[in-house]
Amino acid sequence: MYRTASGEDIFVIDGHTHFWDGSPANQKNIHGKQFIECFYAYHSNLSPPAEKWPLEKFEKYDAKTMHDDLFIYGYDDMAILQPTYLTDFYNNGFNTTERNSALKKSHPERFILNGAFDPRDGNKGLEELHAKAEKYKLQGVKLYTAEWRGESKGYRLDDKKTYKFLEAAQKLGIKNIHVHKGPTIIPLNKDAFDVGDVDDVATAFQDLNFIVEHCGLPRLDDFCWIATQETNVYAGIAVALPFIHSRPAYFAHVMAELLFWIGPDKILYGSDYGIWTPKWLIDKFMEFEIPEEMTKETGSVLTLENKKKILGLNAARIYNVDIEAQKNKIGATGGYAHLSAARAAE
Amino acid sequence: MTAETIADRKAEVWARLQTVTDPELDEPVTDLEFVTRADVDAENRVHIEFRLPTYWCAANFSFLMADDMRMAVKELPWVSAVNVTLGEHMYADKINAGLAQGLSFQETFGVEADGDLDDLRRTFLVKAFQRRQAALLAYLIAAGYPAAALVELTLGQLTAVKFDEAGGKLLARYLERRPVVAGVAETLAFIDADGDPLQTETLPTYVRALRRVDVNAEFNSALCRGLLHARFDTATPLTPRRAGQSAELPKVSA
């Protein structure tokens, strides 16, 4: 919960968090080592110096550290756990729904547990999706189209095989499809980050929401165009958000463009924990204003109303979270004890 | 060959590399600090080594840059051979083998590719054209040129404009990419990516749309520079990595 200077409480749903194991013991090969080190470069490069972790902590953190970073030191009220399997790189997978489910089990009021599917898994994958949807009551899945599978270096959303899985998801009540593009989609001679396939499935599956993580970066320009055409395409701002520290002018541009093209109701906050932590991101986000000159040009303003939507209201809407009821649940388990203590001390 | 000749030739190689851009970022690979080595041996062979911001940088861009470097340096009359080597990349072995044998991208990647890189190269040349045009248009608009004059401005009139240093640079950069969409017979200074004239009424919207391409590219450039720095640089103290492990590589100067 974030409290403004005027005493208003803002309910925060973190749209993008991970509970991974990237430690050397779990790395299967050089790719596993390079994958976590690439994440670490993002972390090192874009975090304020005081927020940087040593590599050992970054490779593998425990459930309590994550819980406290999000909910006690940070302002998150709830967090969506987005899996990334990477079974070709890690012995037990990198950040699987199974691993994430431990957090959901110990703090059901805090976490939304998302699943994943990979169309290359065929019928076996469809069966697993059914089983997991039932077991975990999934409302969303995270797709990583650049995942390696043996010789295959990724898949496309507009592939017929993917359609089968999206049809199944729809039947199973999985409404929210989070999409993350990585750089190795085949054929390799084409633009690996092309977001055209999102356009295709968003048109074909009007009842599903497509949340494009990292707002299509590095193809923000193409993404904005697609997102204006489709009413069911959302932008997750994980990765764009930490630029608020190192490159505030660029962050302002990105926000101005997103607000102009897709509007405040379709932008979702995400910390991308453990790459970044909610505390500093939200402190800076709440202070942030789009410079007047850019507002003149685009008409985009990051009002308190818009910030509330981005930080929680939008995610609550698409994940059916009743905020008042949820606050009560969290309060009942002592989840806000630290706030009462801090406020009593003031 | 004297040490002086070698030094001169190395300088010529660096000058050629300066003309090679990262297609996505539209900036020279030298300015981006991708190139770590450019040596000339006694047989006039050039040895170039380069690295990228991440292990995962797209294979196609990686190959394009390597190929462009090879071609740019080959143009020097004294060069007998060019070896380009990519380091610490998921496709390093494959790309280096392809480069060593002079293979095309399609030949290097076989079934993983269904053609060469011409379309991709074209897509990003058009984006570079758009960015450079947007920068020049914004400059001229700020200098007081009305939309009606800009859409009718001829190439001859544009090049006759008295620019200050900053404006002159923008003009040179724009003219370099203008032929990507403009035919030789095109007289208008400004046309869109399809080669059509611009319209007075829609010019502000048009410039704003191009701005989006520019914001995206600047964002990527900031990210790529930062990631390269976090991965390789030693100039700024980072949080200590694994105890006892030296993550430090020698700082190279471009």
Residue by residue, DSSP assigns A205-223 as -TTSEEEEGGGGTT-HHHH
Question: Which residue(s) pair with A273 in the sheet?
Answer: A17
Judged against a pLDDT cut of 70, whether residue B251 lies above it is answered with no
pLDDT (0 to 100) of residue A259: 95
Helix (H) or strand (E) holding B28: strand B27-28
pLDDT (0 to 100) of residue A187: 84
Q: Which residues of chain A fall short of a pLDDT of 50?
A: none
Asked if residues A211 and A177 have their Cβ atoms less than 8 Å apart, the reply is yes
Closest CA to A182 of A31, A340, A4: A31
Pairing of strands A267-268, B21-22: unpaired
Cβ A220–B215 below 8 Å, yes or no? yes
Chain B residue closest in CA terms to A241: B219
Cβ B230–A31 below 8 Å, yes or no? no
Judged against a pLDDT cut of 80, whether residue B187 lies above it is answered with yes
pLDDT (0 to 100) of residue B241: 40
Share of chain B above pLDDT 90, in %: 81
- Chain A contact probe: residue of B22, B25, B26, B54 with most A CBs at under 10 A: B54
- Chain A contact probe: residue of B55, B129, B218 with most A CBs at under 10 A: B55
Judged against a pLDDT cut of 70, whether residue B71 lies above it is answered with yes
Look up the pTM and report it. 0.92
pLDDT (0 to 100) of residue A175: 98
pLDDT, tens only, B229-246? 999 864 544 333 444 433
| A54 contacts on B by Cβ (under 8 Å) | 239-242
What's the CA angle centered on B216, arms B210 and B220, to 5 degrees? 150
CB contacts < 8 A (A, B): 126
- Count the residues in chain B: 254
pLDDT (0 to 100) of residue B235: 57
DSSP single-letter state for residue B52: -
The domain ranges of chain B are 3-115, 116-254
| B123 contacts on A by Cβ (under 8 Å) | 191
Chain A residue closest in CA terms to B119: A190
Cβ A184–B90 below 8 Å, yes or no? yes
Residue B35 to residue B97: CA distance in whole angstroms: 19
Closest CA to A298 of A333, A343, A263, A341: A263
CATH architecture of residue range(s) B3-115: 2-Layer Sandwich (3.30)
Helix (H) or strand (E) holding A251: helix A248-261
Cβ B240–A187 below 8 Å, yes or no? no
Of residues A127 and B254, more confidence is placed in: A127
pLDDT, tens only, A147-171? 999 888 889 999 999 999 999 999 9
